[in-house]
C-alpha cells in the first residue's frame, strides 16, 4: 500500500494548489475497496497529514469507505474508537467518515459529488469470472505459460469491460478537475504467456493438481476453478483509459512488491535470494494468499477439500521456490484527472 504513496502525495499537493478556493471549504473523497483492517485508517491518517502540510488546508474532510456489502464495516468503525483520532488539533481538519457499501462496478455517489478517489489493491478483482472459460484452462487457476489463447482473451476482455465501466462511473461521480489515484496488480510482459509472473497462483495450481493425483480433489472441480483476478499490462491500462475518455492520465508508475512483505528490493536485477535469510517466507506468503483464496476454495470445492492440507503443502512449495528466486508482484500506480 505504501508503495503508492509517492504518487498519492504528489497528486494531493497538485490538486490543492490548483483548486485552492474549492478545497478551503470541504473536501469529499472515497476509498474504493477499503477492506476492514487497520490499513484503511492508516490511509486516511496519511492523507490528512498530507493535506495539513499544504498552504490551502480544507477545513473539513468527508471520507466515504467503500467495499462490498459483506465487508466488515462494523470492525472499521470499532477501530476508530481504539486508534488515534484523525481529526486532531495539530492537523486542524474536521474529518467525517461514512460507510458506502456496494460494488464499485456500479454507481455509488451522486453526480459531481467527489473531489478525490483512491483505491489500492482492488481494481484487479473482476466483477465476475470471464465468460466462456469453462474447463479450457484445465489444471491452471489463472493465466500461465501453458494457458490456451482463448483463456487470455477471455480474461483480457473481461478486464477491459470492467475497468472501462469503473472509469465511466467514477467520471460521473467525480467533479471536473477532480483527481483519482489507483494502485492495482499488473504485469510487466505484454504477453502473459511469455513469462510466469504469478508464481503464487502457479504453485497453488500445482498443489491442487497433486491433491487430484492423490484422489483428494475431483479433477473436474479443479478444471472448472479459476480466480477472478486480472493483472493488465501497461499497454492495456493506457488503452482502456484513453478509449473510455473520462480522465486524463497524468502519471503512471510501476513498482515491485515482494511476495514476502519483509523483503525489500527495487528491480528484477536484485532477484538473487539469500537462502539463509529466507526461513519462514513460505509461511508468510501462504498466509497472505490463504486470506483471499480460502473463501473461493470452500465455495467451489465444498466440504470435499481439506483447506489446511492445501496450504500446508502450498507453504512448502512456496518456501522451496523462494529459496531460489525472490519473486514479486508488479503494481501499477496511476494518477488521473477528471476531464472538464
Task: For residue 275, give the C-alpha cell.
Answer: 537462502
pLDDT of residue 277: 52
Q: What is the mean pLDDT of residues 322-338?
A: 92
pLDDT of residue 122: 96
CA–CA dist 96, 77 (Å, integer): 12
pLDDT band at 90 (very low <50, low <70, confident <90, very high): very low
Q: What is the mean pLDDT of residues 311-318?
A: 96
CA–CA dist 142, 186 (Å, integer): 14
Nearest partner of 124 among 237, 204, 287, judged by Cα: 237
Q: Is the pLDDT of residue 87 over 50?
A: no
Positive or negative, the Cα torsion across 144, 149, 152, 155?
A: negative
Residue 28 and residue 62 in contact, taking contact as beta carbons nearer than 8 Å: yes
Cα 179 from chain centroid (whole Å): 18
CA–CA dist 263, 279 (Å, integer): 12
Between these two residues, 21 and 69, which has the higher pLDDT value? Answer: 69
CA–CA dist 182, 333 (Å, integer): 6
pLDDT of residue 84: 52
Task: For residue 131, give the C-alpha cell.
Answer: 465468460
pLDDT of residue 270: 47
Residue 229 and residue 125 in contact, taking contact as beta carbons nearer than 8 Å: yes
Buried b (16+ CB within 10 A) or exposed e, 325-336: ebbbbbbbbbbb
Q: Is the pLDDT of residue 92 over 90?
A: no
pTM of this structure: 0.91
Q: How high does pLDDT run on average in the chain? A: 88
User: What are 107-164's pLDDT values in tens digits?
Assistant: 999 999 999 999 999 999 999 999 888 889 988 999 998 899 999 999 999 999 999 9
CA–CA dist 112, 91 (Å, integer): 27
Residue 186 and residue 237 in contact, taking contact as beta carbons nearer than 8 Å: yes
Amino acid at each position: 500500500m505504501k508503495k503508492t504513496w509517492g504518487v498519492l502525495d504528489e497528486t494531493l499537493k497538485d490538486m490543492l494548489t490548483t483548486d485552492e478556493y474549492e478545497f478551503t471549504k470541504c473536501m469529499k473523497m472515497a476509498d474504493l475497496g477499503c477492506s476492514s483492517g487497520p490499513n484503511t485508517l492508516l490511509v486516511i491518517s496519511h492523507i490528512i497529514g498530507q493535506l495539513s502540510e499544504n498552504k490551502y488546508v480544507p477545513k473539513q474532510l468527508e471520507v466515504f469507505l467503500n467495499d462490498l456489502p459483506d465487508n466488515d464495516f462494523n470492525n472499521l468503525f470499532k477501530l476508530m474508537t481504539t486508534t488515534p483520532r484523525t481529526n486532531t488539533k495539530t492537523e486542524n481538519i474536521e474529518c467525517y467518515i461514512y460507510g458506502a457499501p456496494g460494488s464499485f462496478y456500479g454507481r455509488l455517489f451522486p453526480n459531481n459529488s467527489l473531489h478525490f478517489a483512491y483505491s489500492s489493491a482492488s481494481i484487479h478483482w473482476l466483477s465476475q469470472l470471464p465468460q466462456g472459460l469453462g474447463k479450457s484452462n484445465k489444471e491452471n487457476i489463472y493465466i500461465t505459460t501453458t494457458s490456451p489463447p482463448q483463456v487470455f482473451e477471455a480474461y483480457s476482455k473481461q478486464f477491459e469491460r470492467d475497468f472501462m465501466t469503473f472509469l465511466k462511473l467514477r467520471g460521473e461521480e467525480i467533479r471536473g478537475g477532480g483527481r483519482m489515484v489507483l494502485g492495482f496488480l499488473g504485469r510487466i510482459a505484454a504477453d502473459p504467456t511469455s513469462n510466469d509472473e504469478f508464481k503464487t497462483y502457479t504453485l497453488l495450481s500445482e498443489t491442487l493438481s497433486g491433491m487430484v493425483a492423490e484422489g483428494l480433489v475431483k479433477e473436474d472441480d479443479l478444471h472448472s476453478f479459476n480466480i477472478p483476478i486480472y493483472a493488465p499490462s501497461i499497454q492495456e491500462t493506457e488503452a482502456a483509459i484513453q478509449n473510455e475518455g473520462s480522465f486524463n492520465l497524468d502519471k503512471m508508475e510501476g513498482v515491485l512488491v515482494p511476495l514476502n512483505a519483509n523483503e525489500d528490493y527495487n528491480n528484477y536485477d536484485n532477484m538473487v535470494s539469500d537462502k539463509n535469510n529466507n526461513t519462514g517466507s513460505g509461511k508468510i506468503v501462504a498466509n497472505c494468499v490463504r486470506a483471499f483464496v480460502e473463501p473461493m476454495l470452500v465455495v467451489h470445492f465444498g466440504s470435499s477439500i481439506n483447506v489446511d492440507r492445501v496450504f500446508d503443502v502450498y507453504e512448502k512449495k512456496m518456501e522451496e521456490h523462494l529459496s531460489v528466486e525472490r519473486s514479486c508482484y508488479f503494481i501499477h500506480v496511476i494518477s488521473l484527472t477528471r476531464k472538464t
